[in-house]
Amino acid sequence: MNESLMTKPTYPEPLRLLPDLEAAAPFPLHALGELLGGAAAAIVEAVQVPEALAAQSILAASAMAAQPHGNALRDGQPIPLSLFALTIAESGDRKSPADRLALRSHHGHQKALLEAYVEKQRRYRDQRDAYQRARTGILESGNSDPEVVATELGRLQEPEAPALPFILAEEPTLEGLQKSLLRGHSSQGFFSDEGGQFFGGHASRPENLLKSVAGLSKLWDGAPIIRTRSAEGESASRIGCRLSAHLMIQPIVAEGVLGNPIMRGQGFLARFLIAWPQSLAGTRFYRNSDPNLDVRLVSYWERMTQLLQLEPRVNDRGDLDPPTLMMDTPAKAVWIEAHDAIEAGLGRGGDLQEIKATAAKSGEHILRIAGVLAIVENTSVLTRPIVERAAVLVRWYLAEALRLTSPVAVEPHLLLAQQLLDWFIERGWSTFDARTLQRDGPRFARKSARQRDLLLATLTLHRQVLTSDGKHYRVNPLATSGNAAFVSTEMSPGVANVSPASTST
C-alpha cells in the first residue's frame, strides 16, 4: 500500500479563545466538623459532586434546622443563625441528588407536618362551624340588651386555625414567603436546585426586583415582618422569623444575577455564601455506593430530625425567642482577630477592596456559621475551636468571592465565539456552511450576517474552525469546549468585571 495513503491528516493547533479562570481552592471540609463534614464527604463520594457543592447543601440545610434554637450574641446584639447560600453549577452537575441527601430529614419532617395538618384542619372546621352556629344563635335570640348579648358572646371561644404546615419553599414570591411565615411556621427554608426559576420569574421582574431583594435581605437580617393591606384580615406582623436559603443556578443565570446592579447595590449578594466549583463531568465513573448505608449520613439525618422536631422557645405572643449563644473569652479574641484582619483588607490598597460589601459582612457570617456548628454539636457556648473553624470557612468564601470578581479582560465577541464553538461541539456540527449557520444556528449567531461573519472570522483566526473559501467550514478536530479552561462561556461583564481590553492571542 502506498505509504502516503496511510498518513493521517494533520491539523493546526487551535489557539485558546478565553483565558484561564483561577482554580478554586479546595473546600475545607474539616472545618465543618465531624458530623457535618462527614455528611458532606459522604455526599461527595456517593453522588460524585465537588466538595464545595456538597458543603453548600449541608451547611444551608443545617442552618435551617438550627436557626430557631439560638442566636449568636455579640456585645449584647443577637445575631440570627440563618444562612443564604448560592451555588453555581452547570446542568448535569448533580445538584439535585446532592440537595436531596442533605434535605432528606427536612422533607421527611415536611411530609409529617402535611399529614398532621389534614387532621388539624378537619377538627378546626368542625370547631369553627360549631362556634359560628352558637354565635348566630346568640345574635338571633331576640335579646335586646347589648350587654347581655356581649357577655354571652364573650363566653364563646373562637377556634384558632392551625398553622400552615409548610417549612420548605422552592419557587416562592416574596409575598408568598411572608404569608407562610406569618401564618405558619416561623422558621423555614428556601431551597431550589433550579434557582433560575426564581431569579428569572415573577420576583425578578423590574417592578418586583427591588421589593424582592429588600424583603429577602430583611429576612436574612431577622427583621420583623409587617404586612399592611387594605383588605380586612390581611394585615399582620410577626417578629423572630428565620429563613435559610440555598439556591443553585446555572452559569448562564449567574450572568444576570452576579452582575445585577440592584442585587449588588442593595447588599443582597453580600448576604450569600457563594461557590462556583469546577464541574467533575467526565471523571464520574460508576461507583457501587449506597448512601443509605453510610453511617456518616445516617448520623447526620438523625441529628437533623432531632433539631427539626425540637419545639423552639417562643414568647407570650408565640413568636420565636431563641436562647443566646455566648462567646467565651478565647472565642471572642479569635473573632476580634478575624474581624480586624478582614477590616484591614478593606482599606486603601487592601486585598478585599474588590469585594467590600461581601467582606464587610464576613464578621457576622463567622458568628452565624459558628452558631450553626454549636447548635448541631449540641453546645450552648461559642468556643474558641468553633469560632476558629467558622473563620476558616469564611476565609474560603472570601477567597472564592475574590476569584469570581477578579478582573478578566475579555472582548465580548470572544465570549460569543467560544459560545458558538461549544454549540458546534455539543450538536455535532463538524462541517457546515455560512448559509446553514445563518438559518439553523443559535439565535446570537443569526442576529445578522455581520455578526455571523465576525464570529466565524474569530474562530478561523484562532484555528478553532477551518475554511479554504470563507463559505464552507469544518470544526478543527483538535478544538475542545472552553468550559474546561474557563468556568463558563456564558460569563459577561457583570460576572467577572469583563472589560473591552484586547486579549488577542
298 to 136, 176, 290, 302, 304: CA distances (angstroms): 55, 33, 12, 6, 10
Do 29-110+167-405 and 410-496 fold alike per CATH?
no
Q: Are strands 381-382 and 324-327 parallel, antiparallel or unpaired?
A: parallel
The answer to whether the CB of 103 falls within 8 A of the CB of 109 is no
Q: How far apart are CA 236 and CA 217, in angstroms?
A: 19
142 to 124, 130, 146, 259: CA distances (angstroms): 29, 20, 11, 69
List the CATH code of the domain at 410-496. 1.10.10
| Interval 178-193: pLDDT, tens | 888 998 999 999 998 7
Output the pLDDT for position 196.
63
What cell does 64 get?
435551617
Output the pLDDT for position 503.
32
107 to 111, 191, 308: CA distances (angstroms): 6, 11, 10
Low-confidence ranges of the chain (pLDDT < 50): 1, 202, 230, 232, 407-409, 483-505
Output the pLDDT for position 215.
87
Q: How far apart are CA 474 and CA 371, in angstroms?
A: 58
Query: Residue 88, SS3?
Result: strand
Q: Which of 107, 108, 53 is nearest to 85 (CA)?
A: 53
Output the pLDDT for position 408.
45
Output the pLDDT for position 38.
97
Output the pLDDT for position 230.
42
Query: Residue 71, SS3?
Result: strand
Q: What is the greatest pairwise CA distance in the chain?
A: 119
What cell does 269 get?
449578594
Report the Cα 45 to chain-centroid distance in Å.
22
In degrees rounded to 5, what are phi and psi of residue 496? -125, 25
For domain 29-110+167-405, the CATH class is: alpha beta
Q: Which of 139, 198, 141 is nearest to 174 (CA)?
A: 198
Q: How far apart are CA 36 and CA 55, in angstroms?
A: 8
The answer to whether the CB of 202 falls within 8 A of the CB of 173 is yes
4 to 1, 7, 11: CA distances (angstroms): 9, 5, 16
- DSSP assignment of 395-430, as one string? HHHHHHHHHHHS--B--HHHHHHHHHHHHHHHHT--
Output the pLDDT for position 11.
85
| Interval 264-317: pLDDT, tens | 766 888 999 999 998 888 888 888 889 999 999 999 999 999 999 999 999 988
Q: How far apart are CA 110 and CA 185, in angstroms?
A: 11
| Interval 203-230: pLDDT, tens | 556 667 778 888 889 999 999 988 765 4
Q: How far apart are CA 429 and CA 440, in angstroms?
A: 11
Question: pTM of the predicted model, to two decimals?
Answer: 0.76
Q: How far apart are CA 271 and CA 17, in angstroms?
A: 34
**Domain range list for the chain:** 29-110+167-405, 410-496
Q: Give the chain's mean pLDDT.
A: 85
Output the pLDDT for position 422.
86
